Structure 1
């Protein structure tokens, strides 16, 4: 670019005088101002993000809302949690809708910001692990979501012919998982540990020996009338069987990539009297069901396999 200059006549000439210097400065400033404006617009045009980048996202696509299916025994149907010796599914830790319980179903609805979660409760009072194999055959075909399994208390307390051995128990649990996997390949199983029934018995008998004598568990009910040593032996025997069952549950679940084990959370829970139904002081009350829901939800979402299904 050439240099900016003003023209001037030769000294002594009579030709037109050069323009005053001040006028050139004004023009120069005007040109520079115009150039600066052009440069500002150009730079702004180069650095501004495209309109599409400035627009807020319209939402992230997510998969279908998961469903819930519950397998198990009387605990999962809320037995005795509503003031009578009967199922009360509204208080189920798995599929219930009672606000106090804040079940897995309720937590799922909150996580996905929906009003309703599809749920089916296939659990039955008195069910043993062999019965749960049959329940698994009723899991909705092709469902995506979580299948909760909580079983073993009736195998410990009231199985006809006596409790099955740990290996037999493990085989039946493996059948449950295989059946669920066949019917619902996209579902994840959340498997709970067998509760510490010895702790339940101890809590109840400490509060009321007369009530403790009616605890609904063979090997425990009535043992509070025995000598202290015999009571301790009965409780210890039940606890040893439960420990063997829980180890079987852990091993079978660990071998199945679609199974999430609660790592003994339900078993390690030590209930207080208010956590047990006033009807029989054996089954969980609504407060006890709420505690189970919390324990099982925390165990599930802590595992990436379950979290990928349960959380949006």
Structure 2
């Protein structure tokens, strides 16, 4: 009887240890997944979701760039018209990016335009420093046309210098405003601008005053030399856009427009009827549409 009681106690101990061991393994998840994975312990070990890097609803906006962003010649001859700017303008006809993102009232107090007519990529770092001081949620960039629009093709900014200057500009922003988002618009298609504008006699007369001579000079000339000159400018613009895309891609808070501005098939209605070069109010509105679509798009 004593031996039977001893054997019974031994069997009971083994069974108890086995049950407790199995229960303990399930409580911490075990080596295999099971129903207990949804328990408190599993919830504690589940990584918390991180906020997306790109915010399509920034609280403020600063613009940098050249005469396009200043809306030069959009409203009157040889004058900036910042109220018609695609980036920060207040004109209802344009419905700027700032108005679309922030609303009319907030855009008036929380958007700033630091673009300068005639600016080149070398000037962008200084503008970025001004923009960064405002700690903007979003910075828009449109620059590069003046680097290609020179007195001659030899005077155009080299691709290497263009890259260095753009990198310096982004670094300037990041040093002061590391979390600011950046929307980069591609350089417009200057050859299409020549093709569209040359149909207007008045436009060609204005071009003779020295507007983008590397592309628009001798507008009616179709000889080999003129064709080669325009093709050289166009290739440089395409190279600039490649630089903008590559440099922007290295910054997780930078978004390039994918060439949307360059590829936009604008017509004479989108060109200023004073110089047939800069965007008209209608053209500024089209740029605002492109920018808003790209800034608010899901994904990259």
Please state which band the TM-score falls in when normalised by the shorter chain. Answer: 0.7 to 0.9
Q: CA deviation at 1:207?
A: 3.4
Q: What TM-score do you get using the length of structure 1 for normalisation? A: 0.72
> Mean Cα displacement is larger for which, 296-305 or 275-284?
296-305
Give, in whole Å, the separation in 2 of the partners of 1:248 and 1:165: 11
Whether the 8 Å CA contact 1:80–1:279 is kept in 2: the answer is yes
Q: 1:141 to 1:292 in 2, by over 3 A?
A: same
CA–CA distance in structure 1, aligned partners of residues 106 and 151 of structure 2: 37
Cα distance change on mapping 1:142 and 1:87 into 2, 3 Å: closer
Q: Point out where structure 2 has 5 or more consecutive residues left out of the alignment.
A: 1-54
Per the TM alignment, residue 99 of structure 1 is displaced from its structure 2 partner at its CA by 0.4
Q: Report whether the alignment pairs 1:293 with 2:285.
A: no
Counterpart in 1 of 2:167?
Answer: 174
The equivalent position to 1:281 in structure 2, one of 273, 276, 282, is 276
Deviation at 1:108, TM superposition (A): 1.0
Question: Partner of 2:213: helix, strand, or coil?
Answer: coil
Superposed CA RMSD: 2.4
Largest Rg, 1 or 2: 1
Whole-Å separation in 2 of the counterparts to 1:184 and 1:122: 16
> Of 107, 115, 131, which residue of structure 1 is paired with 2:105?
115
Give, in whole Å, the separation in 2 of the partners of 1:142 and 1:278.
Answer: 35
1:304 and 1:121, CA in 2 relative to 1: closer, same or farther beyond 3 A?
same
> What is the SS of the residue equivalent to 1:206?
coil
Counterparts of 2:72 and 2:206, CA distance in 1: 18
- The structure-2 alpha-carbon separation of the partners of 1:286 and 1:150, relative to structure 1 and needing over 3 Å to count, comes to same
Q: Secondary structure at the match of 1:292?
A: helix
Give the distance between the partners of 1:92 and 1:82, measured in 2 at CA: 10
Distance 1:130 1:159, change over 3 A: farther
Q: How does 1:36-75 map to 2 (within 5 A)?
A: 66-75=59-68
Give, in angstroms, the shift of residue 230 of structure 1.
3.4
What residue number does 1:79 align with?
72
| Equivalent pairs, count | 241
Q: CA deviation at 1:210?
A: 4.2
Give the whole-Å Cα distance in 2 for the aligned partners of 1:98 and 1:217: 28
Write the distance in 2 (CA, Å) between the matches of 1:65 and 1:220. 37
Residue 202 of structure 1 corresponds to 195
C-alpha spacing 1:224/1:115, structure 2 compared with 1 (3 Å):
closer
TM-score computed with the length of structure 2 as normaliser: 0.74
State the alpha-carbon separation in 2 of the partners of residues 234 and 300 from structure 1.
35
Residues 203 and 273, structure 1, Cα contact 8 Å, conserved in 2: yes
